[in-house]
């Protein structure tokens, strides 16, 4: 479903106004943009949290959710706030280190509770990092502290904010599966009806609950080809 379709009136903008029974003066496009982007955030947050084995990303993004940054000697903390296109990085899913042969290898994820001595003490020895602690969703600390600088020495994989709508969009579609597109119409219409005090706000609330339930069923069932197997993974801290 495209965002705006003035020829056939089948876009999110047009269907929202029909469902609200209003015109563009009563409910401007900017209001629908805000609602659609809020619903994008809702879907993104649920998709990321629903299954850690399935890496969610908005299909409108034109670059993969992978980046690199320089490894800096004696610098243990690194932040990854935005990707190359300015999208906010929500959480990291994997970090790799370039070794002396130029090949990347996976760093083990640990937690501060795995470090038995004081953090400052653990950081006194430098060398090739083997582990990282996720201090925040997009900030890490390397162990041990790197002893040398390496260009593009860290490769990081991440999940990010969606590709948002703008009022000027026409043919752009939500970067989510098409079966979830109707939810954008319902979400925008419900926001408008609630704000304007329209008589159909309660009916739209029921429809909104149905769309959210459909979204949750989709994300809970989408990864059927992945068989869950419990594995023990040793941590290589040295």
Domain that residue 201 falls in:
12-55+175-221
Give the global pTM.
0.86
Are residue 73 and residue 143 in the same domain, yes or no? yes
Residue 189 tokens read as 């219409």
* Model pLDDT, residue 125: 81
Quick check: 222 pLDDT over 70? no
Determine, yes or no, domain membership for 216. Answer: yes
Secondary structure element (H or E) that encloses residue 136, with its range? strand 131-136
Are residue 33 and residue 79 in the same domain, yes or no? no
* Model pLDDT, residue 128: 92
Orientation of helix 182-196 relative to helix 12-20, angle to 10°: 40
Number of independent structural domains in the chain: 2
Determine, yes or no, domain membership for 184. Answer: yes
Query: Is the CB of residue 59 less than 8 Å from the CB of residue 175?
Result: yes
The tens digit of pLDDT for each residue in 107-157 reads: 999 987 777 777 666 667 899 999 999 998 899 999 999 999 999 999 999
Determine, yes or no, domain membership for 214. Answer: yes
Q: Is the dihedral of CA 113, 88, 13, 171 positive or negative?
A: negative
The tens digit of pLDDT for each residue in 57-78 reads: 999 999 999 999 999 999 999 9
Are residue 72 and residue 152 in the same domain, yes or no? yes
Q: Coil, strand, or helix at residue 29? A: helix
Q: Torsions phi, psi of 94, nearest 5?
A: -170, 145
Are residue 153 and residue 79 in the same domain, yes or no? yes
């Amino acid at each position: 479903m495209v965002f705006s379709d003035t020829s056939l009136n089948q876009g999110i903008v047009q269907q929202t106004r029909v469902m609200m029974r209003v015109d563009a003066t009563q409910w401007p496009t900017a209001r629908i943009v805000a609602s659609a982007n809020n619903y994008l955030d809702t879907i993104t947050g649920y998709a990321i949290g629903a299954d850690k084995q399935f890496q969610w990303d908005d299909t409108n993004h034109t670059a993969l959710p992978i980046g690199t940054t320089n490894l800096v000697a004696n610098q243990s903390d690194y932040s990854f706030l935005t990707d190359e296109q300015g999208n906010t990085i929500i959480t990291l899913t994997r970090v790799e280190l370039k070794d002396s042969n130029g090949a990347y290898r996976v760093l083990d994820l640990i937690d501060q509770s795995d470090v038995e001595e004081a953090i400052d003490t653990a950081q006194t020895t430098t060398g090739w990092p083997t582990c990282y602690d996720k201090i925040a969703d997009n900030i890490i600390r390397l162990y041990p502290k790197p002893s040398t600088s390496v260009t593009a020495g860290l490769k990081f994989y991440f999940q990010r904010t969606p590709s948002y709508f703008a009022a000027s969009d026409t043919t752009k579609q939500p970067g989510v599966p098409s079966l979830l597109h109707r939810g954008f119409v319902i979400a925008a219409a419900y926001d408008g009806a609630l704000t304007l005090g329209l008589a159909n706000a309660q009916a739209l609330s029921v429809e909104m609950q149905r769309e959210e339930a459909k979204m949750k069923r989709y994300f809970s069932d989408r990864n059927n080809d992945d068989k869950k197997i419990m594995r023990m993974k040793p941590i290589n801290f040295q």
